[in-house]
Structure 1
Amino acid sequence: MRRWNLCVMTPILCAAILTGCGRGNATPASTEKPQATATPETSELAEPTPTQTPARALHWIDGRNSEGLYWREPLYGEGGRRYGDGGIGAHYFDFARATEEIVGKPQNFENGNVYLFADEDSLYWAWSGMILDTPVLLRSDLDGSNCESVYDFPQGTAIGVWDGGLASDGDGLYFRYSQISDDPKVPDENFLVRLDLTTRTLETVTRWDKFWGNLMGVWQNRLLITRTLLAEDCPVEPVYDHYSVANREELSPWLRTVLYALDPVTGQEEELYSEPGFFLARSDLAYDALWSVDDQSRLICRPLGQTEDQVLAQLPEGAYIWGVYDEDVLLYCTEEGEQWLYVYHRADGSLDRSPRKGWFGGEYRAISIIGEAGPGRYLVLSDANTGMQQLAGADGTQYLIDGYNGYAIASREALLDSSVPMTPVTRPGTP
Structure 2
Amino acid sequence: MTSIWQTAALEAETPLSRRRFIQLAALSAAGLAAGCAVNPVTGQSQLMLVSEDQEIAIDRQNSPHQFSADYGVCQDAALNRYLQQTGQRLAAQTHRPRMPYRFNCVNATYANAYAFPGGSIAATRGILLTLDNEAELASLLGHELGHVNARHTAQQMTQGTLVQALVSGLSAVAGTQGQPAGQLAGQLGMLGAGALLASYSRDNEREADALGLRYMTAAGYGADGFVSLMDKLRAMNRHNPGAIELMFATHPMSDERYQTAVAQVRGPYAAARRQPVFRERYLDHTAGLRRMRGAIEAMQKADSLMAKKRYANAAHSLQAALRKAPDDYAALAMMAKCQMALHRPAEALRYAELARQAYPQEAQARYLAGFARLKQKQYEGALADFNAYARLLPGNPNTSFFQGLSLEGMQRRSEAARAYARYLKAGGRGDRAQYAYNRLVQWGYVKK
TM-score when scaled to structure 1? Answer: 0.27
Q: Highest relative contact order (Cα 8 Å, sep 6+), 1 or 2?
A: 1
